Structure 1
Amino acid sequence: MNARNRWTSPFAWLGRVFRVPGEERRSVLQTAKAAAAAVIAWIVATSVLQLPQPFLAPYAAVFLVQATVYRSVRGWAQQVGAVTGGVLLAAGAGQLIPSVTVALGLVVFVGLLIGSWRGFGDSGVWVGITGMLLISYGNATEPVLLADRLLETALGAAIGVVLNAVVLPPLHGERLKEATSRLASAIGDVLEETAALVRGSEPPEAADLLHERLRDVRSLVAEAEEAIGWTREGRYLNLRRRRETGEGQLVNLISLWPPLAQLIDAVSEAAQSDQPFRHPGEYARGVVGELLEALAEVARSGDPDKLDHSRGLVEEIDHLLVTPTDEVTTSIGLGAMALPARRLVQRLDHPDSSEA
């Protein structure tokens, strides 16, 4: 079965390219744009400008078709700056150092140091590499060839940037949808498992498993934050710039993480404690469990009826906390659970406040 999956997975991936406007389709589109940019840069450099050995033109064009238009524009400045630095470094070494071996070592050493400046980003390594190529090819003492290298790089990079910005510039809205779906489902599952632990239908050892699931949720929160970052960056300088629907919903789900972690800590401590006064009585546990189950549905679907029901259950918990009954007055555990549970309801009830 595993062997069959290995053979069929490429076809499944290709099928998603045509069926789903998601990551697979964007990858194919960006790859096609990179190939087209390389061909156009080569044609312009060889047939129009008639530059000798214009290998830097298609290279720069390919690497400037980035995941966002903003990264393409920023990469253009970094790439041109790095290559310019390498060319100038090679020119200086070629004029002042007669030994090619010594010049090569010095250019690589100094170029890599200069390229480590964070302003060059990932392109910084090309300060030293460009200088090394020019020294080793024997072009460092020929000003015309040095100027050609600069022109090739600027040309190829510009073609890559323009093509990426004009031809279906990339957006990342589907990341929001996927991250929202995964995070909402995970939060709902954790809330239901927490409700079962509160009701006492799970053994106390289940608290350890619940903490493991909580770490999974934290990982999905990090993924969601990354998805929002990609989506917002994708709108910078983008001709198709638009505000993706669902961003506010995902921000709201992310905001549930702190009270959710506090709630699970409180439930786990109460479930594992040997001191009876820390664990709420049976009726109170039933109310908290019902609240968490309702919140699980709200997190998954935004059900307004379940949200109204959650508000009523929070009010009932508040009433239990101030009611002088033998079951509740000595319960520290109920108060510890009530605060994060109330915060979960508030954040689901007022999503705009969490986004701000």
Structure 2
Amino acid sequence: MRFPGRYQLVQSLKAAAAAALAWALTGWWLAAPMALMAPWAAVALVQGTVYRSLRSAVELLAMMASGTLLAAGAAAVTGDTMSAMLIALPLTVLLGNWAPVGEQGLYAPTTALFVLAYGSYSLPAVGHRLLETAVGAVVGIAVNAIVLPPVHSLHVKTLACALPRDCARLLRELSEGVVKEYDEEQAGRWHRAAGELPGALSELRAARGWASESFRFNPGHRMRRSTPSPSDTWDVLWAQVGNRLLTLTLTLWETASERRALPRPPGRSLEDLSLVLAAAGKVCAADQTLMEQGPDDECLERRAGHLDEARRALADAMGHLHGPGTDTRASLGSLLACCQALLDDLMPGADGSALPAGRARTGRT
């Protein structure tokens, strides 16, 4: 279990402050001794983005108003709390499930319960509950929009840097492992690690959606400093690299499995393959540095050198395809074809990194 980060801590404190402010306003301005609806709405509307707070406010107000009116109407008709509950709860639960309001649908039946618990169903009392809800909604939106309004683009860059980092780590493990007598279990771990890369890409795409949404109706994002942010081309590139690693590790697993007929390549060819993988891992590590720190001539030079080193090692490894032992050519050829495609994917754009030139854009953090 991870400790909460800065974002979770800030949003939690904002929600608590919004609830306290809403309670104080309704208690002082409306003189409500149990102004529960206001802080409840305020907490619910300190959302992950300002846009989401505004959108959720409409849905929440509709559900809470419906729950209030249905509960008050049922109580007025029956004159009994239990009977009113038996009438109002099925209707409000059905409304919450049927209406296209997502998680906000839960507020219809829970509001009905709170209204019935108040025990006051007169028209002024119902109006009071609705006014408390509106005050809480305004306070929640205002606190979320004014006090450190959430912006998620920094998370995008963090996840974007994680892609080359994870690829570099896996390539290093492969480089160190193929020269040893790797077994089926170890090769299976490599393949599972490669299979986790698409999940990281999915997280990045989800973070992009949050980042884009967090700029909508956000009054504070223009005051944040601008930093380079990768375009969608970055995702496509590392999706391709991830697919190469998935194929590569699958082939290694098949060569290590006793249930497969694919033979293990000879030791000398695996030594050259190890050099290819090690150099490719250094290229990925350089891309991570470039994404974190921006263009740097020295880092670009090192990247180009590592890529040249990988190509030379690949050429040496391909020489083993013409040697004796035709039964191992299929497995070695498959591994080298994956490496060739991997290095082609890592060919630099005009800026020297794997990100094609002219496709980067500026984001805010």
Per the shorter chain, which TM-score range? 0.7 to 0.9
Structure 1 gaps, min length 5: 1-8, 14-22
Label 1:121 to 1:274 Cα distance change in 2 as closer, same or farther (>3 A).
closer
d(CA) in 2 for partners of 1:304, 1:233: 37
Label 1:294 to 1:328 Cα distance change in 2 as closer, same or farther (>3 A).
farther
Q: Deviations over 1:177-203 (max 9, x none)?
A: 544555544322321222334334534
Identical aligned pairs, as a percentage?
Answer: 27
The answer for the alignment partner of 1:306 in structure 2 is 306
Give SS of 2:101's match.
helix
Alignment check: 8 A CA contact 2:60 2:104 kept: yes
Aligned length: 332
In the alignment, structure 1 residue 344 sits paired with structure 2 residue 342: yes
The answer for the alignment partner of 2:324 in structure 1 is 326
Give SS of 1:326's match.
coil
d(CA) in 1 for partners of 2:197, 2:139: 42
Q: Counterpart amino acid of 1:300?
A: A
Label 1:125 to 1:274 Cα distance change in 2 as closer, same or farther (>3 A).
closer
Q: Deviations over 1:9-51 (max 9, x none)?
A: 9xxx7xxxxxxxxx63333332332233223323332333445
Give SS of 1:116's match.
helix
2:214 corresponds, among 220, 230, 234, to 234
The answer for the alignment partner of 2:186 in structure 1 is 206
Give SS of 2:55's match.
helix
Label 1:235 to 1:258 Cα distance change in 2 as closer, same or farther (>3 A).
farther
Q: Counterpart amino acid of 2:310?
A: S
In the alignment, structure 1 residue 136 sits paired with structure 2 residue 93: no
d(CA) in 1 for partners of 2:307, 2:101: 50
> Shift in Å at residue 207 of structure 1?
1.6
TM-score, with structure 1 as normaliser: 0.77
d(CA) in 1 for partners of 2:261, 2:150: 58
Alignment check: 8 A CA contact 2:234 2:355 kept: no
Label 1:274 to 1:62 Cα distance change in 2 as closer, same or farther (>3 A).
closer
The answer for the alignment partner of 2:254 in structure 1 is 269
Alignment check: 8 A CA contact 2:15 2:46 kept: yes
The answer for the alignment partner of 1:33 in structure 2 is 14
The answer for the alignment partner of 1:45 in structure 2 is 26
Q: Counterpart amino acid of 1:343?
A: A
Structure 2 gaps, min length 5: 288-302, 348-353, 361-365
In the alignment, structure 1 residue 295 sits paired with structure 2 residue 293: no
d(CA) in 2 for partners of 1:57, 1:244: 39
Alignment check: 8 A CA contact 1:56 1:156 kept: yes
2:333 corresponds, among 312, 320, 335, to 335
Alignment check: 8 A CA contact 1:253 1:299 kept: no
> Shift in Å at residue 127 of structure 1?
0.3
Q: Deviations over 1:123-179 (max 9, x none)?
A: 211101111222332333x12221222221122112211221122211234434544
Q: Counterpart amino acid of 1:159?
A: V
**RMSD of equivalent CA atoms:** 3.5
In the alignment, structure 1 residue 162 sits paired with structure 2 residue 142: yes
Question: Could you list the runs of 4 or more consecutive aligned residues of structure 1 that deviate by over 6 angstroms after TM superposition?
Answer: 274-277
1:95-114 alignment, distance < 5 Å:
95-114=76-95
Alignment check: 8 A CA contact 1:196 1:202 kept: no
